[in-house]
A and B are shown apart, each in its own frame.
Chain A
């Protein structure tokens, strides 16, 4: 199919898609799960259970009290061992429900297929399902589906680009469940009234393109259905899967600075998200399991696994074959944008799409040297910023300069840091710069207050 355009810049890191051909393995034998009460970007949920309570699979244990919050369900059946407060890797304290599994996985009675009559009931069902964007950011999907008036989407963009090295879960999703992927898209289009859908897949996953096209063909031949869904082959270039780049590559529309996809009448959903919607509408089983890629130099058997939300990472790695030695770095997410954990003892959360474990050698950071102004960072920046200038300004806390050089438009894709021959920590510096900007009004207020 005709490709609309291609964003400028970007990098081409080694794919490391070692798990491309490894079917997803379901892992279930976890003695305990630890479910945090905040796995979305909104306010945390109110915990509904206490020590000693029996719970079943799919039972609501965290109630969403704010529209930006997303309900949380138990991923196993068993007994609540404790409810405790823990400091998460993000530095924030969160409530964690520790559940001892009885190994039976008894399903809760409340798990029933939702009754969808109209748009409102569909949105309610999406909210009740506990769904957050499965691409990694954890944005509540039901919020995304309700744009402000006048910004209703006319295109549904499905993100199956999977441009991050190592990760192959989106590809496996397409390869193993193409029927549910297409069904999910049709459901979203139907209930939200979106006439057209585009699925973006990078050119290094031809199999995904083939199976999805085959699925569309089957629909046409067996049910005489011809939904307006196109599968688009995209150039393999990081960060092709970044929302703004993907929208531009597929539709030629540019999301305005500081804007969201709905500003250009687009709704972007991850391929895993639509597949989950399809499954949820059929079974009513909320989001309690997560498919992810386990890879990295310290992992004995790179693989794709399907595990209950809340499964402790050490147990997951053990169950999947263990490690080759002492780990040097554990990353939640991909190697370009993932978060390095300060300890192994964390849980799998809803928006996890990978756990990467690097050995000691791979974890070593090269020493930072002086910038030689080679402009590689400027050339690869998909947002057309000047990372090296921002780096300098951030280190000098030059708030005015940072704004003038558009720091807030940085999507933190890491392309600049990846190519830097001087090995400068550009993204880190830019993140600190953004913090300076966010705290600037507060600092000014404090100063004013002190002066009074």
Chain B
């Protein structure tokens, strides 16, 4: 008779890494739908490219490094999706492939794979792409029929065979001081997604649907995104700008709920999560208010990712019953 001997506990919860990743994928689907509606089928093509190449790179690198095959945990698909969501709809199609390579091979697998990367792979990849291809990464466009407001921002056709027309992001308009223009989308447009921007960031409504799902499934904790968004709202208000506009624009919502909550690169304790959210909010606001760039979400989260091990060390929770007195 062969009896299994192991340390207690002898029963386990149903939760698994794969299931958590699947939940995140499900939560991102509404935003993907809106993206296709706003930017056309090209949006789907970019998502398809990043996801398939991310999984492929994951498989190849694990194989090359003689480690177990980890594509089953679906984390590469999540990275692929988030990377695509951070790209403008006009990118040349080699950029998503390079992005996947950077995210999966350089940022994730070279540091040991899932759980070991010190920054969010999709974000780091987006930043590297922005620095490497500044023009291609900031060409915003939108389907002709989905232009916000009633004005037509521009008529240059983008690329060949694309029925996208150029538009500016709301944050760009704020920075350029064109807040009075008729082309500024209203709150409702911002909320539903009638605006220029990256693939996945435009529709707050669709993202919020995913967030509700994640919160109900208890996949993410609201601590980081709520502190993050509140900090941005308060700081922008303090400097005389419209906080609601800031919250609804750019990648803040996507970043706060789907990138800053990345388990691997955010602190473990509640206190740490609040510090993380505050830091992200502070840096995002500083970049948006005083920086040369229109958007600071990715840099803010990346910087706080790097600080995470330190935050974890600063916020070791006090055990129940108080700290043990050091024995002298």
Contacts and interface: CB of A to CB of B under 8 A. Distances in A.
A408 B9 contact: no
Interface in A396-411: 404-406, 408-409
B304 to A, nearest CB: 14
Nearest to B312: A389
A7 B320 contact: yes
Interface in B60-93: 73, 75
Q: Is the interface of B mostly helix, strand, loop or mixed?
A: loop
Interface stretch (B137-145, B169-177, B263-271, B286-294): B263-271
A378 B8 contact: no
B3 A365 contact: no
Interface in A323-376: 326-331, 333, 335-344, 356, 358, 363-366, 369-376
Interface stretch (A103-111, A122-130, A252-260): A252-260
A338 B10 contact: yes
Interface in A230-284: 244, 248, 254-259
Given A335-B10, A406-B323, A378 B3 contact: no
Interface stretch (A18-26, A302-310, A424-432, A443-451): A424-432
Given A364-B4, A365-B4, A257 B323 contact: yes
Nearest to A264: B321
Which of B8, B112, B263 has the most CB atoms of chain A within a 10 A radius of its CB?
B8
Contacts of B318: 384
B6 A340 contact: yes
A382 B320 contact: yes
Contacts of A343: 1, 3
A423 interface: yes
Interface string A374-398: 1110110011111011000000000
A165 interface: yes
Interface string A409-436: 1001010011111110101100100000
Interface residues of A, number: 71
Contact of B4 (A255, A328, A431): A328
Interface string B297-328: 00000000000000010001111111111000
Given A254-B322, A329-B3, A409-B324, A336 B9 contact: yes
Contacts of A405: 316
A108 B324 CA distance: 49
A421 B12 CA distance: 9
A386 B269 contact: yes
Interface string B5-37: 111111111011101100000000000000000
A280 to B, nearest CB: 31
Given A338-B10, A370-B113, A371-B115, A422 B319 contact: no
Contact of B11 (A165, A255, A384, A409): A165
Contacts of B3: 327-330, 340-344, 363
B162 interface: no
B17 A375 contact: no
Contacts of B319: 257, 383-385, 406, 409
A296 B114 CA distance: 35
B130 interface: no
B27 to A, nearest CB: 15
Interface residues of B, number: 41
Contact of B317 (A384, A404, A421): A384
Given A386-B316, A409-B320, A365 B6 contact: yes
| Chain A contact surface mostly | loop
A369 B17 contact: yes
A254 B15 contact: no
Nearest to A263: B321
Contact of B324 (A329, A408, A414, A418): A408
B5 to A, nearest CB: 5
B306 to A, nearest CB: 15
Of the candidates B4, B75, B114, the one having the most CB atoms from chain A within 10 angstroms of its own CB is: B4
A97 interface: no
A206 interface: no
Contacts of A341: 3, 5
B15 A428 contact: no
A431 B321 contact: no
A386 B321 CA distance: 15
Nearest to A14: B11
A358 B10 CA distance: 9
Interface in B35-67: none
Nearest to A422: B17
| A326, A339, A340, A356: most-surrounded residue (chain B CB, <10 A) | A340
A186 interface: no
Given A358-B10, A384-B318, A428-B7, A423 B115 contact: no
A339 B8 CA distance: 7
A24 B281 CA distance: 61
Contacts of A363: 3-4
B8 A257 contact: no
A285 interface: no
Given A369-B73, A370-B114, A406-B319, A375 B10 contact: no
A337 B16 contact: no
B313 to A, nearest CB: 9
A418 B264 CA distance: 20
B179 interface: no
Contact of A331 (B10, B19, B221): B10
B241 interface: no
A391 to B, nearest CB: 12
B320 A329 contact: no
A335 B269 contact: no
A421 B6 contact: no
Contacts of A209: none
A422 B15 CA distance: 8
B33 to A, nearest CB: 27
A131 interface: no
A287 interface: no
A258 B324 contact: yes
Interface in A154-196: 165
Interface of B: 1, 3-13, 15-17, 19-20, 73, 75, 112-116, 221, 263-264, 266, 268-269, 312, 316-325
Given A366-B12, A378-B268, 7 more contacts: A358-B10, A372-B17, A378-B269, A384-B317, A386-B269, A419-B15, A425-B7
23 contacts: A13-B11, A254-B322, A256-B322, A326-B1, A328-B4, A329-B5, A336-B10, A336-B11, A340-B7, A341-B5, A370-B116, A372-B20, A373-B264, A373-B268, A375-B268, A382-B320, A385-B319, A386-B316, A406-B316, A412-B8, A414-B8, A425-B7, A428-B6
Cβ-closest 6 pairs across A and B: A414-B9, A428-B7, A257-B324, A363-B4, A421-B15, A370-B115
